[in-house]
């Protein structure tokens, strides 16, 4: 739409509500240089450049300058501002991108929706709608969510498994997805195409694929892979004024989504497409607003993969940088390796996808998984019990290992909570294997019941008689009992 159409005032008013208030205040200040006299052209140029850097459109700048200098010819202001604005847009496009506010196409779309200022009674005229899901209570079909997870936790593979499932109308990790296949677009910014192919091949052809050979390459016509591993994939960057503005790559993403109309978009990963400060909440929210324009404009769900901070991993919240990430997205998944269930040399590594925030569903859904033949599969009850047993055995082995080490150093630990309590001392040890004090308490009690450890007399470093916990070693046949003295 051009600025001279009947929607002109709507476009300007819409922009005013977005970002013009500060400019209006500046133009109304006492020290603002009014446009007058022989320096009029110079002043118009200065003001236009200043407001251009703030992201204002030319008609809005002309309107502001016209109001601040009513004695000057408004038509002349409009013409001069337009010329300066267009020239600066060509010379310094990084200072302004139309997508950083609302571009022409999206203005038309925005004004077809309900206005931002309306009486609540008008909501009665809007038809009731139910929240739609790609995966029930986990992945909405009309908004943007974040999937956080440390490297190796399984984000990319599980999301490719989701892409295959949705594009073929199949289950994902044991959960139903869509009734009919939908278009899916996967922007791969980290892995080259041959690596993506390797992952998908395991999903549809591997020994543990969930489709029993029923899904072939030919069935993946609705899944589009956009390979960007060798490109600068930033879709938004910080400009000289600290605002987040869209790049040409944003337009590339937008054009791809507009052309193919996928119902699910997956972006791997966040830090390949975001060029702002992850700890600045305002920039984070501006960026997420850009992403959500994909979902509102094209009616799709969107998942962005990210990495949590060290604090986010340690605390178990999965957060990264500013809390704005969690707050701005409408939902958040956290993909992790369950350390409590994945400890020990022979332990089965258990992965988990958990809903940490769900604006449209319960924030308590979780799926436990194990890695098998190149894909993730749901953890069965039998496997869960096996993993639990292996973990319990691993704790016992670690307890005995540390106890033997302490005894060899003539150090004392006991079964009494006061003093050198063995579970507490072992949990603090650098070689604890991440087992907790509670883990070691359970292991100690089992080992005591098995008579594998016992309190024994010994001579301490001060050459005085004392008691400590030791590993029980005895000789004899299978029927012999150890001597506990």
pLDDT in tens, 138-193: 999 999 999 998 888 899 999 999 999 999 999 999 999 999 999 999 999 999 99
Distance between CA atoms of residues 387 and 393, nearest Å: 10
Which among 404, 347, 400 is positioned nearest to 371, based on CA atoms?
Answer: 347
* Residue (of 273, 279, 276, 280) closest to 294 by Cα position: 273
| CA separation for the pair 334, 152 (Å, rounded) | 13
Any idea how long the chain is? 485
CA geometry: angle at 166 spanning 161 and 318, to 5°? Answer: 55
What is the distance between the alpha carbons of residues 57 and 90, in angstroms, rounded to a whole number? 14
Q: Which residues pair with 137 in a beta bridge?
A: none
Peptide bond into 88 cis (omega under 30): no
Q: Which of 460, 446, 454, 463 lies closest to 481, judged by CA?
A: 454
Report pLDDT for 4.
31
Residue 304 and residue 295: Cα distance in Å, rounded? Answer: 12
Contact between residue 186 and residue 225 where contact means Cβ atoms under 8 Å apart = yes
Q: Which of 63-77, 82-96, 422-436 has the lowest mean pLDDT?
A: 82-96
Q: How far apart are alpha carbons 198 and 200 in whole angstroms? A: 6
| H helix or E strand, kind and range, residue 265 | strand 264-268
If pLDDT is split at 50, 70 and 90, which confidence band does 474 have?
A: low
Highest mean pLDDT: which range of 60-69, 84-93, 161-170, 197-206: 161-170
pLDDT of 101 reads: 41
Three-state DSSP at 376 gives strand
Q: Spell 299-337 as b/e; 16+ CB within 10 A means b.
A: ebbbbbbbbbbeebbeeebbbbbbebbbebbbbbbbbbb
Burial class (CB in 10 A: 0-12, 13-18, 19+), 255: exposed
Percent pLDDT > 70 in the chain is: 81
CA–CA separation, 169 and 218 (whole Å): 14
Higher-pLDDT residue of 238, 163: 163
**Averaged confidence pLDDT in the chain:** 82
Q: Which residues contact 346 (CB under 8 A, 6 or more apart)?
A: 390, 393, 394
Chain-centroid distance of CA 332 in Å reads 7
The reply to whether the predicted model has a pTM over 0.85 is no
Nearest to 466 by CA among 456, 474, 475: 456
Q: Model confidence at 263, in pLDDT bands (50, 70, 90)?
A: very high
| Res 98: pLDDT | 39
Cβ–Cβ < 8 Å for 251, 144: no
């Amino acid at each position: 739409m051009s600025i001279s159409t009947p929607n002109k005032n709507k476009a300007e008013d819409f922009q005013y509500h977005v970002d013009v208030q500060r400019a209006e205040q500046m133009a109304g200040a006492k020290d603002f240089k009014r446009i007058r006299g022989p320096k009029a052209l110079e002043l118009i140029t200065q003001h236009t450049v200043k407001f251009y850097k703030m992201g204002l459109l030319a008609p809005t700048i002309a309107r502001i300058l016209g109001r601040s200098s009513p004695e000057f010819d408004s038509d002349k202001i409009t013409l001069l501002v337009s010329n300066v604005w267009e020239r600066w847009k060509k010379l310094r496009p990084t200072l302004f991108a139309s997508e950083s506010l609302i571009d022409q196409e999206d203005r038309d779309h925005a004004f077809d929706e309900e206005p931002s200022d309306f009486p609540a009674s008008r909501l009665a005229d809007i038809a009731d709608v139910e929240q739609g899901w790609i995966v029930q209570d986990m992945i909405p079909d009309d908004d943007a969510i974040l999937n956080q997870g440390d490297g190796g936790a399984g984000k990319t593979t599980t999301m490719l498994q989701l892409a295959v499932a949705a594009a073929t109308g199949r289950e994902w990790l044991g959960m139903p997805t869509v009734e009919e296949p939908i278009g899916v677009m996967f922007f791969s910014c980290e892995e080259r195409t041959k690596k993506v192919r390797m992952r998908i091949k395991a999903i549809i052809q591997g020994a543990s694929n969930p489709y029993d050979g029923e899904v072939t390459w030919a069935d993946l016509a609705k899944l589009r892979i956009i390979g960007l591993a060798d490109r600068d994939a930033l879709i938004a960057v910080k400009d000289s004024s600290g605002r987040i503005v869209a790049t040409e790559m944003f337009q590339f993403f937008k054009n791809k989504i507009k052309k193919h109309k996928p119902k699910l978009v997956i972006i791997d990963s966040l830090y390949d497409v975001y060029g702002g400060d992850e700890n600045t909440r305002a920039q984070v929210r501006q960026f997420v607003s850009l992403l959500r324009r994909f979902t509102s404009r094209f009616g799709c769900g969107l998942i962005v993969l990210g990495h949590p901070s060290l604090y986010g991993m340690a605390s178990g919240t999965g957060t990264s940088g500013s809390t704005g990430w969690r707050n701005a997205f409408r939902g958040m998944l956290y993909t992790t390796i369950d350390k409590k269930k994945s400890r020990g040399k022979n332990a089965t590594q258990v992965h988990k996808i958990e809903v940490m925030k769900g604006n449209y569903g319960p924030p308590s859904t979780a799926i436990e998984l194990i890695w098998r033949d190149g894909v993730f599969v749901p953890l069965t009850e039998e496997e869960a019990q096996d993993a639990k047993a292996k973990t319990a055995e691993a704790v016992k082995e670690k307890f005995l290992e540390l106890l033997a080490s302490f005894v060899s150093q003539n150090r004392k630990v006991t079964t009494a909570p006061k003093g050198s309590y063995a579970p507490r001392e072992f949990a603090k040890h650098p070689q604890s294997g991440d087992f907790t004090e509670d883990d070691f308490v359970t292991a100690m009690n089992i080992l005591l019941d098995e008579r594998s450890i016992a309190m024994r007399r010994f001579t301490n470093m001060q050459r005085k008689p004392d008691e400590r916990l030791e590993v029980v070693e005895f000789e004899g046949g299978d029927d012999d009992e150890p001597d506990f003295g």
